[in-house]
């Protein structure tokens, strides 16, 4: 069954085109997981996260200075190559300045009928952010209504919120099963579930997640079965399935992650409020933060260490997209916090493609060190 999630992810463009054909709906590409998808979905839109292609490219050289992160360049490359030529529109919920460039260059160079920049607050710990974002969501909703010609009712928003919350609940329930000594699904499989949810119609995704959950609870789905070393992945965007597959082939279970492509995407739900947009705003402001929005207090640290405890993590891999300043600022503090909990960590810098051979040697060394700690 996990193969379906994998296929959705690996053939995401085909899925979106097919969805477009069968529903005659609009597909809206978004660049950062702070995008309020509930509003789009309430208007019958399929929100699709724009991701990279993990292939060397030079298309973006004239557009983005090479000291910006490989992820933003890879995303733009997909647009310039035409991989996302089916998108009816694009939107950015204000992200780090790196990813903004993928959006703004796309806005300039790739003809698209709908382009929306939502100035999402960075000061999510400042109380005025709730009122401000609620107001921005109202403007966004109006813009979506104008674009689609459909009025978004409270009922439609309620339905959308419920579909999205259900998706989050199901993913969390499945992820919770990975706390077990023998996780029923591998880190790679879990990655397919989380990634595919960012590009597949949530109602459809939910139906399959429910079936999978039942199977997992019944113990009829075999994971990779080993439980040698329990690893956690932490850091920037990571949809590098090749890397994850390689790590797990070394006798490790990736039992949990803290990526915007993983748990940060779905960890918290929309709590009902009379004002639906205020409720949605609160959900995004209170979610496990991206480091670019995690200040002045460090809310990521207690969240990460709690996850590490809950999932019995023995070691953590700190993954950072090359040149990502917000994550680079956090890495020393995360390593320190984990060390204080007795959890060793290891830093890896990711590019569009990762040097699988050298990374394999480094991961083997890290895992050997972790096993050594168990032995002695």
CB of 270 to another protein, least distance (A): 21
Q: In terms of CB distance, is 127 or 358 closer to another protein?
A: 127
Q: In terms of CB distance, is 80 or 171 closer to another protein?
A: 80
CB of 200 to another protein, least distance (A): 30
Q: Which of 14, 18, 127, 214 binds another protein (CB under 8 A)?
A: 127
From the CB of residue 70, how many other CB atoms can be counted at a distance below 10 Å? 27
What does the angle CA 202 – CA 101 – CA 16 come to, to the nearest 5 degrees? 25
- Are 89 and 147 contacting, i.e. CB atoms less than 8 angstroms apart? yes
Q: Does 342 bind another protein (CB under 8 A)?
A: no
- Looking from the CA of 318 toward its CB, the CA atoms found within 13 Å total 21
Cα→Cα distances 343→248, 309, 340, 371, Å: 19, 10, 7, 13
- Are 336 and 324 contacting, i.e. CB atoms less than 8 angstroms apart? no
Structure tokens at 261: 């492509």
Binding string, residues 270-299; x marks residues near another protein by CB under 8 A: ---------------------xx--xx-x-
CA distance 72 to 326: 14
218 membership: H or E segment, kind and range? helix 202-218
Binding string, residues 190-209; x marks residues near another protein by CB under 8 A: --------------------
CB of 236 to another protein, least distance (A): 12
Q: Which segment (12-20, 80-88, 92-100, 174-182) binds another protein by CB under 8 A?
A: 92-100
- Are 208 and 4 contacting, i.e. CB atoms less than 8 angstroms apart? yes
Structure tokens at 323: 């040149």
Q: Does 326 bind another protein (CB under 8 A)?
A: yes
Q: Does 122 bind another protein (CB under 8 A)?
A: yes
Binding string, residues 44-63; x marks residues near another protein by CB under 8 A: -----------------xxx
CA distance 231 to 254: 5
Positions in the binding site for another protein (CB under 8 A):
61-65, 67-68, 94, 96-98, 100-101, 104-105, 107-108, 117, 119, 121-123, 126-129, 131-132, 135-136, 291-292, 295-296, 298, 320, 322-323, 325-326, 328-333, 335
């Amino acid at each position: 069954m996990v193969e379906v999630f994998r296929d959705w992810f690996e053939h995401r463009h085909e899925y979106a085109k097919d969805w477009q054909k069968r529903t005659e709906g609009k597909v809206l590409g978004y660049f950062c997981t702070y995008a309020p998808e509930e509003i789009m979905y309430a208007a019958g839109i399929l929100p699709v996260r724009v991701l990279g292609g993990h292939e060397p490219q030079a298309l973006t050289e004239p557009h983005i200075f090479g000291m910006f992160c490989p992820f933003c360049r890879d995303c733009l490359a997909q647009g310039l190559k035409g991989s996302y030529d089916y998108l009816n529109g694009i939107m950015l919920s204000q992200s780090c300045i790196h990813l903004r460039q993928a959006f703004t260059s796309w806005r300039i160079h790739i003809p698209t009928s709908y382009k929306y920049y939502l100035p999402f607050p960075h000061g999510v710990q400042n109380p005025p952010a709730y009122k401000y974002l609620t107001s921005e969501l109202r403007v966004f909703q109006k813009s979506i209504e104008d674009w689609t010609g459909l009025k978004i009712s409270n009922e439609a928003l309620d339905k959308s919120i419920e579909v999205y919350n259900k998706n989050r609940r199901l993913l969390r329930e499945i992820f919770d099963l990975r706390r077990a000594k023998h996780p029923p699904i591998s880190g790679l499989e879990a990655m397919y579930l989380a990634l595919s949810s960012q590009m597949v119609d949530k109602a459809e995704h939910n139906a399959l997640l429910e079936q999978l959950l039942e199977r997992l609870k019944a113990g009829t789905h075999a994971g990779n079965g080993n439980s040698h070393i329990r690893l956690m992945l932490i850091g920037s965007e990571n949809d590098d399935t090749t890397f994850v597959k390689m790590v797990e082939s070394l006798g490790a279970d990736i039992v949990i992650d803290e990526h915007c492509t993983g748990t940060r995407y779905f960890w918290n739900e929309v709590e009902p409020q009379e004002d639906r947009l205020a409720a949605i705003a609160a959900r995004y402001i209170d979610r496990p933060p991206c480091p670019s929005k995690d200040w002045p207090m460090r809310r990521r640290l207690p969240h990460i260490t709690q996850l590490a405890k809950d999932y019995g993590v023995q070691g953590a891999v700190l993954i950072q997209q090359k040149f990502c300043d917000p994550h680079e600022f956090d890495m020393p503090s995360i390593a320190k916090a984990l060390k204080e909990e007795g959890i060793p960590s290891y830093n890896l810098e990711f590019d569009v493609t990762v040097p699988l051979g050298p990374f394999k040697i480094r991961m083997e060394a890290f895992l050997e060190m972790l096993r050594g700690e168990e032995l002695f």
